[in-house]
């Protein structure tokens, strides 16, 4: 089976439909699937639920899909860098399901592992627990959280081979590995595409069995959300 696609548009061909759920890897703007997000925007798919740590910034990353009103709901842990997100949420145009960051990560991991639910202490006694089952284990109380799965996962890696084995680099290894396991279909974009056998098996973070399609991204901006510097003393 040939998994290699010429570009992001072809990589998503036949996978998109209105109302679908999409997981998008990345932490802030680090390790986001930039080219696949652009292809999603250009596809015109509507009413999507996006599971991602955040929603990019106003003019980059997933924020581009907010500009075009393609996102119906966000399942996130942080949204503080996006003014359009704030405006749409406060006006009732956008649904939001907030999660503590570790809880979001574990919900995705659980979904990829076939675990339907788990208990965590995080959020007990707060609005995070509203409407959720709680249970006491020993002397502590816990909140039940459900695993997350998606119709499609889009992830970004540093290197990948033609069969779909992926290697992430440093901070870009954030939500990408677990999201690759939790989508019914996973499409990966990489900075460098190599032949099968070129990657050391001990270095592979996502095995090829989880990846359905792969492409080499033509370019990456790799923006920084908020650049702070200090003057030399």
> What is the CATH number for 83?
3.40.1080.10
> What is the number of structural domains in the chain?
1
Burial class, 190, CB count within 10 angstroms (exposed 0-12 / middle 13-18 / buried 19+)? buried
Report yes or no on 93 lying in a domain: yes
Global pTM exceeds 0.85: yes
198 in the Ramachandran plot: left (φ > 0), alpha (ψ -120 to 50) or beta? Answer: alpha
b/e per residue, 162-182, with b = 16+ CB within 10 A?
Answer: bbbbbbbeeebbbbbbbbbbb
Looking at residue 224, its pLDDT comes to 82
* pLDDT for res 151: 98
3-state secondary structure of 64: helix
Helix (H, G, I), strand (E, B) or coil at 105: helix
Nearest CA among 192, 196, 166 for reference residue 178: 166
Per-residue pLDDT band at 97 (split at 50, 70, 90): very high
What are the tokens at 172? Answer: 């870009």
In a domain, 227, yes or no: no
The verdict on residue 222 lying in a domain is no
Least confident segment among 32-41, 54-63, 108-117, 187-196: 54-63
In a domain, 59, yes or no: yes
For residue 204, the SS3 value is coil
């Amino acid at each position: 089976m040939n998994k290699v696609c010429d570009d992001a548009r072809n990589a998503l061909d036949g996978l998109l439909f209105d109302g679908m759920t999409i997981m998008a890897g990345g932490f802030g703007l680090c390790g986001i699937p930039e080219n696949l997000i652009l292809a999603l925007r250009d596809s015109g798919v509507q009413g999507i639920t996006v599971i991602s740590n955040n929603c990019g910034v106003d003019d980059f990353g997933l924020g581009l899909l907010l500009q075009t009103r393609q996102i119906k709901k966000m399942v996130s842990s942080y949204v503080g860098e996006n003014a359009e997100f704030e405006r749409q949420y406060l006006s009732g145009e956008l649904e939001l399901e907030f999660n503590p960051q570790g809880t979001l990560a574990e919900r995705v991991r659980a979904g990829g592992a076939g675990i339907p639910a788990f208990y965590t202490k995080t959020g007990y006694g707060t609005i995070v627990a509203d409407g959720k089952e709680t249970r006491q284990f020993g002397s502590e109380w816990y909140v039940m959280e459900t695993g997350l799965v998606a119709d499609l996962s889009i992830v970004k890696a540093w290197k990948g081979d033609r069969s779909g084995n992926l290697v992430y680099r440093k901070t870009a290894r954030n939500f990408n590995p677990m999201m690759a396991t939790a989508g019914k279909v996973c499409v990966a974009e990489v900075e460098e595409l190599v032949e099968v056998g070129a990657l050391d098996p001990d270095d592979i973070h996502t095995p090829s069995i989880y990846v359905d399609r792969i492409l080499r991204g033509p370019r990456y901006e790799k923006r920084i959300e908020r650049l702070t510097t200090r003057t030399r003393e």
